[in-house]
Amino acid sequence: MPIPREILDVPRPVNTVVAVYGKNKDRYAVKQRVGCKRVDGRNLPVTGPTIGHIIDGEYVPIPSASSVAAAGFDLLDWAVIEYAARFMEPLIPELLQHYNREDTEKISCIALLRVCYPGIKDYELKSAYEESFLSVRYPGIALSKNTVCAFLGNLGKAYSRIVSFMRYRAASVEQGHHLIVNGTLKSNESKVNSLSNFSREAKVKGFRDISVIYAYDLEIQEPVCSECFPGNMLDMTAYHRFIRDNGIQTGIIVADKGFPESAAGEAFEQNPNLHYLNPIKRNSKYISTYDLHDYDRQLIGQGGLILCKKVQVKGKQKWLYSFRDAAKAAKEEQDWLRRTKAFDEEKRKEKLPAFGTIVLESDLDLTPETAYKAYSGRWEIELVMRYYKSALDFDETRVHDDYSVIGSEFIDFLSSVITMRIIRDLDRADLLTKMPYKKIMTILRRAKKLRLSSNDNWKLVKLNPSQEEVLRALNLLSPLDKPAPRKRGRPRKSQP
């Protein structure tokens, strides 16, 4: 049946033909020509798929579906991002005082991804971003490998902004708060940056490190500021620089033996609201001068196992606090006997008074109970360092030049702050007594959301009841949200 001229004259795409179809042969399809074939010495056109129809005298194309590669993601990691972002949000106003909105969002995304996916490499950030709800919270963030590499370098180049951010946080420390200062070493085998060097420990291990120093606020239980130094720099050398660079002017710094007060004496003299509480070495002359191993009472609230003595250094605004833990003394004596190859009673008597002891120095007149409790809180920064290296997998740097190391360590610091806030919240929910941190984060990564169409709302994928309980405990699910009831089984038989 011939096709009417008015149908053939309807404007349509080039390289197309009109085909008639339908029961009454009154419907017209527009098909694409995809080539030709050689038949009996002639080139005959080859008709391809239908691309449209002619309806009421007009060409109507068939909507074409995009490729699956360009379709986006309809199943995303949800709970772990939603939970971690809750603790990143308070940091954003602080960042916006030093960075523009675009940079702040990129910093936030990288920090969150490092918390939610420990050990993630820079080249994996883009896919992790696209496969998580982070792409819904912060759409359009460029996180390709080359983009991230350049961004970390630019962060390090703008070092003054990092310093101003750290000083802003340090300025918020209240006067009575205790700042626990500690350092850790990170493997860094780069040959193109000045921070990588052999530390005292690295000479034994055989590879080079950088040194990262943190200040941790014991009262609010989170890191306040951080700075990285060459791996071969002694802690006491970096101590004064750390206080000066970060503008620490308020609080009580509680440090370890590697950070003596004398190394930063000038900083304490210039800042009357800045104080220190540090241990001194066991061979210090103060111990013999003031008979600090001759105790005068027991420490209250420690089960009577700790002896103490407090004296003021003559002519100075300095107090010494001496403690002896009977349990630790017995343990140290046992360890010493176990290591001793040839027993020497005279040497044992010489070392015996020092077993289980610690002497603190401070420019504050404190009760021994207060001094001991403040220094005992140092274990919390050890927890920070443990999560820093273990839970977050920050035990080595994965960038090379100075700028990238500085920029990457800045984002690692933000990730550490988020992690410690998460740990506090997990304690609140009483979850860490039931399962370890890594298992909780694994459960959160399993909680995903999907959508059935581009116009549909995101819905949580069904979890097992124990996993839903974790989400409820963390206020990610409403207590009223209950799993759908199971279908009733076969009715029981009536008893005769």
d(CA 166, CA 247): 8
**φ and ψ at 477, to 5 degrees?**
-125, 145
pLDDT mean across residues, the chain: 83
Sheet containing strand 58-61, edge to edge, reads 16-21, 27-39, 42-55, 58-61
Sequence length of the chain is 496
Give pLDDT, residue 103.
Answer: 96
Task: Read off the amino acid at residue 186.
Answer: K
Question: Per-residue pLDDT tens for 4-18?
Answer: 888 889 999 988 999
Higher pLDDT, 264 or 444: 444
d(CA 208, CA 185): 9
Q: How confident is the model at residue 146 (pLDDT cuts 50, 70, 90)?
A: very high
Give pLDDT, residue 389.
Answer: 58
For the record, the structure tokens of 424 come out as: 């506090």
Cβ neighbours, 10 Å, residue 60: 11
Give pLDDT, residue 483.
Answer: 45
Comparing CA positions, the residue from 439, 422, 434 lying closest to residue 474 is: 422
**pLDDT, average across residues 118-136:** 92
Cβ neighbours, 10 Å, residue 361: 21
Strand partners, 319: 312, 362
d(CA 240, CA 222): 22
For the chain, give the percent of residues with pLDDT over 90.
39
- Write the DSSP symbol of residue 387: I
Strands 319-325 and 42-55: unpaired
Give pLDDT, residue 471.
Answer: 93
Give residue limits of the domains in the chain: 5-64, 73-256+378-478, 278-369
For the record, the structure tokens of 78 come out as: 């949800």
Angle between helices 402-428 and 79-88 (to 10 degrees): 100
- State the DSSP string of 390-430: IIS--SB----SHHHHHHHHHHHHHHHHHHHHHHHHHHHTT
Element (H, E) at 322: strand 319-325
**pLDDT, average across residues 411-438:** 91
d(CA 79, CA 103): 24
- Does residue 399 register a pLDDT over 60? no
pTM of the model: 0.74
Question: Per-residue pLDDT tens for 329-349?
Answer: 999 999 999 888 888 888 888
**pLDDT, average across residues 118-126:** 90
* 8 A C-beta contact, residue 360 and residue 371: yes
Task: Return the minimum-mean-pLDDT range out of 32-41, 158-167, 184-193.
Answer: 184-193
Give pLDDT, residue 67.
Answer: 57
Question: Per-residue pLDDT tens for 228-237?
Answer: 887 666 667 7
d(CA 165, CA 155): 12
Question: Per-residue pLDDT tens for 29-88?
Answer: 999 887 777 777 787 888 888 889 999 889 998 876 655 555 567 889 999 999 999 999
**pLDDT, average across residues 137-165:** 92
Question: Per-residue pLDDT tens for 249-274?
Answer: 998 888 877 777 777 788 888 888 99
Give pLDDT, residue 21.
Answer: 87
Give pLDDT, residue 256.
Answer: 79
CA dihedral sign of residues 395, 398, 400, 403: negative
Give pLDDT, residue 378.
Answer: 72
